Amino acid sequence: MTIVINMRKGPAERGLGVAARLIRNGKLVAFPTETVYGLGANALDGAAARRIFEAKGRPADNPLIAHIVEIEWLEELAREIPETAWKLAEKFWPGPLTIVLPARETVPRVTTGGLDTVAVRMPAHPIALGLIRMSGVPVAAPSANISGKPSPTDAEHVIDDFYGRIECIIDGGPTPVGVESTVIDLTGEKPLLLRPGGLPLEEIEKVVGKVEIHPAVRGEVVDVAKAPGMKYRHYAPSAKVIVVEGTEEAVGKKINELIEEFRRNGLKVGVMAMGEHEADAFFYLGKTSEEAARNLFRALRELDRTGVDVIIAQGVEEKGLGLAVMNRLRKAAGFKIVRA
């Protein structure tokens, strides 16, 4: 049985108490964060964390992020915490930044996907923070979607994927950022970007200087040992996705050409873009990369639901949140990119 708790008007003590008790008892609770909805369990309980993998159908070597509510909790999860980690945490927590550090032995290797490193973040959402504080334990929470599907940015997406399969879903309305956290590995000599996300790389570089970018971020196939999440199919709706990149004018034209071509071949076409297009289904992404990030996963889910065969997505400039948006779009497209 799944309890759905309505907190669209904000965190509610009693509901959080119920959900926190479930977490302490090794159960699964989906909850909103500022990035996307998370599927949470006690990060220090290997059996509870294992249930996250089972519910999502997530490969066991794709590690989870442990969510905390006080900066000091970092020391219970990680050892050898460098100065840069404290600096980043002080500046950007609570917020959409995940830090990868050497893991303490007390962190179950189920949670870390078998690695000796642990990923930690403090989310900036009152419901997430309230839940973690009342649970009294770090909460492991990957995105609350069936593995491979677009991440959930509203409770209805979580209900679609998990109703009847987990103990509790907290409905906190739409998530404000819309893409997952930025993941930075601090276990090497230089900070390494493993996943672009809700905190722009430019902001991080203002604090720690130049950050190296893992080649998998741009879709290059390499040794994936350091970026375990990267090798799996991600964010993919049932429809085929194509990303069109280039200057705004050229992209607009190219999208129209593709719509015509697909339709001539009897295919139904959906478009998600920053300009208007006539297609079988259309989702407006917004003007800025922030808006595109907020709308991205909803657009993929909703266009897919219309039953289109192909989704054409307009690429965005890889600045600010644009880097995260393009990373998700390229993965959704299985790296099928058309240059206008």
Does 153 sit near ligand AMP (CB under 6 A)? Answer: no
Longest Cα–Cα distance in the chain: 60
Residues 278-317 as x/- pattern, contact with ligand AMP by CB under 6 A:
----------------------------------------
In degrees rounded to 5, what are phi and psi of residue 27? -95, 175
Residue 312, binding choice from Mg ion, ligand AMP, none, Cβ under 5 to 8 Å by partner class: none
Residue 34, binding choice from Mg ion, ligand AMP, none, Cβ under 5 to 8 Å by partner class: none
Collapse the DSSP code of 315 into the 3-class scheme (helix H, G, I; strand E, B; otherwise coil) and give the result: coil
Question: Tokens representing 173?
Answer: 């309305």
Nearest residue (beta carbon) to ligand AMP? 229
Q: Which of 139, 183, 217, 312 binds ligand AMP (CB under 6 A)?
A: 183
In degrees rounded to 5, what are phi and psi of residue 132? -65, -40
Residues 95-134 as x/- pattern, contact with Mg ion by CB under 5 A:
----------------------------------------
Residues 46-85 that bind ligand AMP (CB under 6 A): 62-63, 65
Cα–Cα distances in angstroms (integers) from residue 205 to residues 35, 57, 120, 183, in the given order: 20, 35, 19, 13
Question: Considering beta carbons, is residue 1 or 225 the nearer one to ligand AMP?
Answer: 225
CA distance 49 to 66: 10
Nearest Cα residue to 98 out of 211, 174, 193, 224: 193
The single residue listed with the structure tokens 């050229």 is 250
Residue 185, C-beta contacts closer than 8 angstroms, at least 6 positions apart: 100, 117, 191, 192, 193, 194, 214, 226
> Using an 8 Å Cβ cutoff, are 145 and 131 in contact?
no
Stretch that binds ligand AMP, among 44-52, 88-96, 114-122, 250-258 (CB under 6 A): 114-122
Stretch that binds ligand AMP, among 10-18, 113-121, 153-161, 205-213 (CB under 6 A): 113-121
Does 194 sit near ligand AMP (CB under 6 A)? Answer: yes
Does 142 sit near ligand AMP (CB under 6 A)? Answer: yes
Question: Considering beta carbons, is residue 15 or 198 the nearer one to ligand AMP?
Answer: 198
Does 181 sit near Mg ion (CB under 5 A)? Answer: no
Stretch that binds Mg ion, among 91-99, 104-112, 143-151, 164-172 (CB under 5 A): 143-151
Does 143 sit near Mg ion (CB under 5 A)? Answer: yes
Nearest residue (beta carbon) to Mg ion? 143
Number of shown-chain residues binding ligand AMP (CB under 6 A)? 19
Smallest separation, CB 218 to Mg ion (Å): 19
Question: Considering beta carbons, is residue 187 or 314 the nearer one to ligand AMP?
Answer: 187
Question: Tokens representing 3?
Answer: 């309890």
> Using an 8 Å Cβ cutoff, are 28 and 168 in contact?
yes
Task: Please name the helix (run of DSSP H) or strand (run of DSSP E) that holds residue 208, with its range, or none.
Answer: helix 201-208
Residues 209-238 as x/- pattern, contact with ligand AMP by CB under 6 A:
------------------xxx---------
CB atoms within 10 A of CB 177: 23
Residue 84, C-beta contacts closer than 8 angstroms, at least 6 positions apart: 186, 191, 208
CA distance 12 to 16: 6
Positions touching Mg ion (CB under 5 A) are 142-143
Positions touching ligand AMP (CB under 6 A) are 62-63, 65, 100, 112, 115, 117-119, 142-143, 180, 183, 185, 194-195, 227-229
